[in-house]
Every structure is written in C-alpha cells, then in structure tokens.
Structure 1
Amino acid sequence: MSAKFLRVAMTVGALLLGAGALAGCNDSTTASAPIGTESVTTTSLKQSASTGSSSSAAPSSSESSEEAEAGASKASESAPETKPNGSTKVPRNFPGNVPAPSGVKLTDKQKAYLADLDRQNVEFKGDTDNNVALTMGTYVCQSREQKTDNTMVNAFVRAAIGPMTESDAEASSKATKVIRAADRNLC
C-alpha cells in the first residue's frame, strides 16, 4: 500500500511540476514590446520641488497625457533631408554592375545559357556577376547526370529563386525557365 501511495504521489508531483513549468512559459509580461503602429505612451514621475522632501508625487493625468503627446510628436518628425557629397567617389572594388568577376572567363555554353535567361527576362536580384544564375544551371546539369527526379530539381531551383520573386507563380515560372535554359544550353 505504501509503495502504491508513493507512486501516485510521485506522479501527481511530476504533473504539478510540469503544469507549473508550462504556466511559467505562458507569462505574457515578457513579450510586451509594442508591435506595429499602435501608439505608445509613457509617464514619468517628477520629484516635488516645493516640499524639499525626497518623496515623489505622481503628475496629474492631464500633465502625463500632454507629455506623452509632446513626445509622440517629436518621435513622428522625420529626419532632416541630406544631400550626397559630390566629392565622394565609388570605390574601385565596389560590386556594382560587373558582368563577371575579373579573371573569370565564361565558356560558350555559359554565355548561351545567360543569353537565353536574358531573352526570357529571367534575372536574379543582386546577382550582378551571374554567380547565382550559373550555380542554378550547374545544379540542373549535375542533377541530370545523377538522374535526380525532375520534381526534386524543380523544387530546389524554385526554393532558391523564391525569395527573389513577388509570388509563388513567378517563382514557379522562373524555375521552369531556368531549368529549360540549362537543359538547352549547359547540359
């Protein structure tokens, strides 16, 4: 009887400990930062200067709301407009519109692949040196050599292109065009 009671007591204790841990995780006071465009007001306590004592008195609600409105109006002011300095020069190694990194020679197949993508209006945002486009084409060719399932190839290319597109349909369309261009020109 005593062993049975001990098992029940241990089980109940474990359940209570688990429930307490879960209840502690649900404390919403730790995630009270404002999200979005909701207005946030704060109040501050001012020290009473007239009494000379160290005790503080809370301001009236009208003073608090006036302070909050003044602070909110300061926060909504935009930063002053600035003009670019005309004497600033772009560094030589700045990765701007560079067709390919210096010293890298494209093969005729790679050039044909990139030209095909260009004709189909497929471009990769931020891919100024065509590295992403060439990587996708190379992946398609390697997948063909390994006889990888077409669904897997399409899913990988679509996932790689997806963050650079506006919609699912656009990502799917671009992935199909990339795969088709790689099959025709690179593989």
Structure 2
Amino acid sequence: MQHTVRSATLVVVVSAASLLTACDAGGDIMAPLALPTSQVRGAQPQAASAQPQPGSSGELAITSQQHAYLDELKAAGIKPSSELLALSIGSYVCQGRAAKQDDQAVREFVLPLVRSDVRAARSGQESPTPGEIDTAATDYIRIATDHLC
C-alpha cells in the first residue's frame, strides 16, 4: 500500500513539475507576470499597507507576443473578463502543448478556466450556453497555439 501511495505521489509531482516548467524555447510566456516587483515596468516596492505608490500605473506589463494574442482574441469576438485571466488560459494551453498533451487533454485542462471567464465576462446577463463556452474554448486554444506558444 505504501509503495502505491509513493508511486501516485511521484506521478502527481512529476506531472505538475512538467506542466509548470514546460515552456517554449523562445522564453517564458508569462515572464512579465513572474518578474520581481522591481523589474516590472512602472512598479514601485509596496509597503505593507498595500497602498498604491504615486506614479505607478497599476497596468499589467505584457510582451508584444502577449499583446498580439490578446488582440487576436478580441478579433475573434472573445471578450475576456480580464487580460490576466486570458493570458493565464493561453499559458495553460502552451504548457499543455509543450508537455505533448493531445488536443482533448489540453481542452479538458483549460475548459473550466474558459467557462469561468465566459461567465465572468457576461455577469449580469443571460448565462452562456454550453455551445458558446465550447466555441470560446476552441478559439482560446487555436489562438494561443497560433500566436502565443
């Protein structure tokens, strides 16, 4: 029994590590989001009070590749609830691709995120249909694969 638990734990750890480290040779697509505060454009070290510093824009610093990805999403009619969530979904798609996951595995991995994004973007409106969520997931995966990975 103990051997089975160790094996299962090892599989989970290796899987998680491969998803977290599997990045395109061109660089980490989420790099601007993972940089120390001092390296993010316009960021100032924050005091413990978490009050914004004068002159800081509070905007997300993104690369030109990430910007093109977001533009393509908008061109396809996708209105993400936030740029950060859209970039996270794209990052998960790229991690799945880099880990050599098949199309269905990538889809199953990002579908809950896409569903949450579509619902959040339409808050206060009629709930999205399963077909709308499916179309958004297909578009997210295609656009991330073509423009971000």
Of the three residues 64, 72, 89, the one matched with 1:116 is 72
Total equivalences in the alignment: 86
The alpha-carbon deviation at position 103 of structure 1 amounts to 5.9
Q: Deviations over 1:35-74 (max 9, x none)?
A: xxxxxxxxxxxxxxxxxxxxxxxxxxxxxxxxxxxxxxxx
Q: Does 1:133 align with 2:86?
A: yes
| Superposition map of 1:135-150 within 5 A | 135-150=88-103
Helix, strand or coil at the partner of 2:133: helix
Helix, strand or coil at the partner of 1:123: coil
The alpha-carbon deviation at position 140 of structure 1 amounts to 0.7
Aligned 8 A contact 2:94 2:144 in 1: yes
| TM-score w.r.t. length of structure 2 | 0.52
Q: Give the equivalent residue in structure 2 for 1:186.
A: 148
| Superposition map of 1:1-187 within 5 A | 102=58, 104-125=60-81, 127=82, 130-163=83-116, 164-165=118-119, 166-187=128-149
Residue type of the alignment partner of 1:186: L
Structure with the larger RCO, 1 or 2 (CA within 8 Å, 6+ apart): 2
CA RMSD of aligned residues (A): 2.0
The alpha-carbon deviation at position 158 of structure 1 amounts to 1.8
| TM-score w.r.t. length of structure 1 | 0.42
Unmatched 5+ residue regions in structure 2? 1-50, 120-127
Aligned 8 A contact 1:154 1:179 in 2: yes
Residue type of the alignment partner of 2:86: A
Aligned 8 A contact 1:124 1:161 in 2: no
Aligned 8 A contact 1:137 1:182 in 2: yes
**For 1:124 and 1:139, how far apart are their aligned partners in 2?**
15
4+ residue runs of structure 1 moved beyond 2 angstroms? 101-105
Residue type of the alignment partner of 1:148: Q
**For 2:130 and 2:86, how far apart are their aligned partners in 1?**
19
Helix, strand or coil at the partner of 1:115: helix
Aligned 8 A contact 2:89 2:114 in 1: no
